Each structure stands twice: as C-alpha cells, then as structure tokens.
Amino acid sequence: MLMRLSDRVALVTGAAGGIGRAVALCFAAEGAVVICSDINDSGCSETLDLLERAGGKGCALQADVMHEEEIELLYRQIADRLGKIDCVVNIAGGDCEPAADVEDIDYARMSANLDLNLKSCILSCKEAARVMKRQGFGRIVNMSSLVYRGSPNQFSYAAAKGGIYAFTRSLAMSLGRYGITVNALAPALVEVPAFVKALGAERWEMLRKDCAGRYPLGRVATPDDVARCALFLASDDAAFITGQIIEISGGARL
Ligand SMILES: NC(=O)c1ccc[n+]([C@@H]2O[C@H](COP(=O)([O-])OP(=O)(O)OC[C@H]3O[C@@H](n4cnc5c(N)ncnc54)[C@H](O)[C@@H]3O)[C@@H](O)[C@H]2O)c1
C-alpha cells in the first residue's frame, strides 16, 4: 500500500493532546517516524504506545515549548537520534485567558497566551528552518485557529493565533527557495477530551449543539478532521502549496 509519509521524520508538538495525538497516529499510519513531544510526559508516552501498537514507529521527547532552551534541546535530541527532520507540526497550545471583557485583560495570562501559542511556534520554526535549509526540504504546519479572524472575547488568544498566520506567510516567503513549505491550520471547534473535561459534560453539550447548529456542515470537528488536513499539507500532494491557512471549519464564518 502506498504510504504518503514513508521514510519521513516528523515532529509533532502537543502530541499528548486531542489533536496532537490524532496527528501523531495519522502520520505514523502513513509511514512517518513520529517524534511525539509534549510537556505532559505520561500523555506523550500514551500516544507513543498507541502509535506503536498500531504498527507505527516513533519516540517520545518531553519539552516545554514556553522555554527556548527546551525547544533547542528537543531539536538537538532529534538531530542526534534521527539525523534529519522532514516535517514539523506545531500543535502545542491553548487559550490561557478565558473569555473576558477587554478591560479585564490580565497581563500575566495575556503573556502566557502569546508565549504558549505564538512565541513557541516562532522558536520551533526557527530551529526547524536551520535543519530544513541544510536538507533543502521541509514541511512545516502551524496550528492557528479560526479565531485568527477575530473573536470578541478571546483577545490575546486571537492575537496569538492571528500572529501565527502572519508569521506563517512571512516564513513561507523566506523559505520557499529552500524547498520548504509553511502552512497553517485554522480549525473551528474541535471535540477534544480536554475541552469536554474542562467544561463539564453539560456545558460542553450546550456549546457543541450551538456550534453544530451554526456550522453549515451541521457538526463540530473531530481531531481526525484536523489530522487529515495536516497530513495533506505534510505530504507530496501539497508540494506547491505554501503560506496558506486552511480553515477546517465545516463552513463556519463563511
Ligand atoms: N480544540 C479546539 O477546538 C481547537 C480549535 C482551534 C485550535 N486549537 C488549537 O489546537 C491545538 C491543540 O489543542 P487541543 O484541542 O488538542 O487541546 P489539548 O489541550 O488536548 O492539547 C494541547 C496539548 O498541548 C500541550 N501543552 C500545553 N502547554 C504546553 C507547553 N508549554 N509545552 C508543550 N506542550 C504543551 C498539552 O499538554 C496538550 O497535550 C492548540 O494549539 C489549540 O490552540 C484547538
């Protein structure tokens, strides 16, 4: 069977999470050696275990992407163990500043949003670019969100995810001549265990129903919807696509 990522080495950050796990499993099923990375070591090992039990190959490396030195160490470890890196999917992230009026923006939570979502992505791409330029090949996929278009009560999260889009386009312009593509994903609401747990079953169900009612395709996204799009962007099928943001939104906000 033709596999779309045979012999590729792929780093997935946030690999213990709902979307990151789906991406790691999907890439491994397509033949990639997947480096699963997350701040959550046990969750990351669980992802690796699932991946290996399904016949895939990979390893787990813990890293806190809010610390530059940990990102640098992660890339050094990959270079030592595997000698190359073909694809990077920067997924680690999340909203650190829950819905608030603009007057309520809290400096520490706003900074955490920028550090966790935007700066981590920039720093990971910086390390990836070093390796990929030497190789003359690379695929980078960054996790934005549909809120990159703006959201009336997620100010700093929207700013971070919008920043990822601007950074993605800038990097695509700069790295294209080295055979490196850089794209971003912008999902609407995705059903992940962390979300359901944080909201509680009842509030989650209200949110899910409300969104499903508004999205033209009549449901919220699954982690696999996002993983398949990441796979496409990392594969040769997307060889001539760069600097794009793909909305995985069921038609939300058209
Ligand atoms: N779920 C959604 O509706 C949705 C929609 C759009 C975008 N996103 C984005 O998708 C990404 C994945 O989110 P998810 O929905 O799978 O949630 P999740 O909470 O299941 O996954 C996030 C993962 O990031 C990891 N992480 C958090 N801080 C980290 C750090 N400092 N260093 C390394 N890893 C860290 C967590 O441990 C977790 O495994 C995030 O960037 C999120 O902003 C999610």
Domain containing residue 21: CATH number: 3.40.50.720
Can 157 be counted among the known catalytic residues? yes
Position 213 in a domain:
no
CB distance 184 to ligand 1 below 6 Å = no
Position 210 in a domain:
no
Position 244 in a domain:
no
Q: Find the domain containing 75 and state its range.
A: 9-192+224-236
User: Which residue among 13, 72, 91, 119 is best mutated to probe the pocket of ligand 1, counting the most ligand atoms within 8 A of its Cβ?
Assistant: 91
pLDDT in tens, 218-247: 999 999 999 999 999 999 999 999 999 999
Number of Cβ atoms within 10 Å of the Cβ of 205: 12
Position 113 in a domain:
yes
The structural domain count of the chain equals: 1
pLDDT at 236: 97
pLDDT in tens, 178-199: 999 999 999 999 999 999 999 9
pLDDT in tens, 87-116: 999 999 999 997 789 999 999 999 999 999
CB distance 250 to ligand 1 below 6 Å = no
Position 34 in a domain:
yes
Question: Across-strand partners of 139?
Answer: 87, 181
pLDDT in tens, 24-42: 999 999 999 999 999 999 9
Position 31 in a domain:
yes
pLDDT in tens, 51-65: 999 999 999 999 999
Position 18 in a domain:
yes
Query: Judging by DSSP bridges, how do beta strands 87-90 and 57-62 pair with one another?
Result: unpaired
From the list 75, 148, 157, 165, the catalytic residue is 157
Region at 159 (left for phi over 0; alpha for psi -120 to 50; beta for the rest) = alpha
Position 188 in a domain:
yes
